[in-house]
Amino acid sequence: MENYSVGLDIGTTKIVAIVGRRNSHGKIEVLGVGKSKSLGVHRGIVTNIAQTITSIQTAVQEAEKSSGIPITKVTVGVAGKHIRSLQHSDYIMRENPETYITEEDIEVLKEQVKKLPMLPGEEIVHVLPQEYKVDAEDEIQEPVGMHGKRLDAKFHVVVGQMASIRNIARCVKEAGLEMEALTLEPLASSEAVLAKEEKEAGVAIVDIGGGTTDIAIFKDNIIRHTCVIPYGGGIITNDIKEGCSIIEKYAEKLKVKFGSAIPDLEKDTTFVTIPGLHGRQDREISLRTLAKVINARIEEILEMVNTELKAYGAFEQKKKLIGGIVLTGGGSNLKNLRQLANYITGFDSRIGFANEYVANDKDEYLKNPEFATAIGLLMESLKIRDKKPTGENPAEEEIKLEEQNTESVENQEETESPQSKKTKRERLTFGQAFMKKVSAFFEEVDG
């Protein structure tokens, strides 16, 4: 079995493929990186299948060239304005309370949650346990090995539009790749930039991408809240384009090179000259004017972040985020953003660099926060592979069986013992199990 994994970040402004493996010290060793402009995605949602497929292929080919490794499987991130989350509590009654609770019991409880009725067109993407209760004992983090009759749990459930997720799956498949698993992007970013101590103390990761701003809140090492704000760095570029009456290419360059989140820290006497169109006169824009345009939009985004923090209860003493806020994603490169975030939210902020768990980034190319999601997806993929028994690939076996003959799989399941079915289910992560459903959908379409 190959000892490397691939993370594929399909973003609004760029698509990044990162190939890597875990070294002997447990650190991430990046073997190759591919990056291309994203042409068919808007605010995290695929709007042009053909262009997205081409962009994926370009990024993957570049990653293959730099790593010297053929890429066949990828772990993909999902985000977009269609993503929402909810809290849900559920329980099961165990048949024999004399036996101790096993992983099988927890899987049965998770499966029960996955059957929750959703709105039309929606599908559960993640079922994330927060804490358990065994009979009268509550606030239990790990119930395995305990005795009890009733097992309760609180879950954080992430939901998305099935059509949007199928479009991503189709693009990956048409690009000649197999989707190994699907992961919510803010969860992936948190893997790359957050320390365990921060997750325990309480922290919010704010990933400002090109089309969306993704938020994940952790407390006591448990995911407490996730959401996707449908605004990112792209809308700031558009504001500069409209406010300064210039084309998008120059607006993006202005934002990246001269942009600032706080107008008062910029000089009104410093100007940037923008070339005129087709022989027209050049335009001059002051840095303070530029900062005012940027500030109006970035303040709006941070206020929306603040609303989500309040919705979680981050200003209550018991839920207080001691670790503050970690800003990441390409939008976090904006000058003075950290100071503005401190002022608007009242929480201490820092920039989350993407190479904090990477061992071989000597030239600090991967330090740029824009790579946080891709590296996080790589880490998630490596986690999945670490859980698999050597020489086996349960996800691949299950998907291939379904693609070859759906009917034969059903017949096989009828003859299998219940214990055998439960063992197979335990091997699959939720992302892999979800991929079985996507694969079945394509089998029906192809048929």
Q: Which residues lie below 8 Å from residue 418, measured CB to CB, with a gap of 6+? A: none
Confidence of residue 399 (pLDDT cuts 50, 70, 90): very low
Which amino acid makes up residue 338?
R
The model's pLDDT over 285-318, given as tens digits with 9 standing for 90+, comes to 999 999 999 999 999 999 999 999 999 999 999 9
Lowest mean pLDDT segment, chosen from 118-122, 147-151, 439-443: 439-443
How many whole angstroms separate alpha carbon 255 and alpha carbon 235? 11
pLDDT at 20 over 80: yes
Please give the domain boundaries of the chain with CATH numbers for all domains: 196-355 (3.30.420.40)
Task: Using alpha carbons, select from 196, 199, 164, 155 the residue that is nearest to residue 182.
Answer: 164
The model's pLDDT over 144-173, given as tens digits with 9 standing for 90+, comes to 999 999 999 999 999 999 999 999 999 999
Tokens of 59: 């990024």
What's the pTM? Answer: 0.83
Report pLDDT for 439: 63
The model's pLDDT over 231-260, given as tens digits with 9 standing for 90+, comes to 999 999 999 999 988 999 999 999 999 999
How many whole angstroms separate alpha carbon 92 and alpha carbon 102? 13
Which phi and psi angles does 299 have, rounded to 5°?
-65, -40
The model's pLDDT over 369-388, given as tens digits with 9 standing for 90+, comes to 999 999 999 999 998 887 76
Report pLDDT for 364: 82
Tokens 């790749």 sit on residue: 177
Higher pLDDT, 226 or 435: 226
Percent of the chain with pLDDT over 70: 86
Confidence of residue 410 (pLDDT cuts 50, 70, 90): very low
Report pLDDT for 360: 82
Question: Are 228 and 212 within 8 A, CB to CB?
Answer: yes
End-to-end CA distance of the chain: 31
Strands, E assignment, 14-95: 14-22, 28-37, 41-42, 45-46, 73-78, 84-93
Question: Are 6 and 386 within 8 A, CB to CB?
Answer: no
Report pLDDT for 281: 84
The model's pLDDT over 56-105, given as tens digits with 9 standing for 90+, comes to 999 999 999 999 999 999 999 988 888 989 999 999 999 988 899 999 99
Confidence of residue 326 (pLDDT cuts 50, 70, 90): very high
Per DSSP bridges, beta strands 28-37 and 14-22 are: antiparallel
Q: Which residues lie below 8 Å from residue 154, measured CB to CB, with a gap of 6+? A: 87, 88, 89, 129, 130, 131, 132
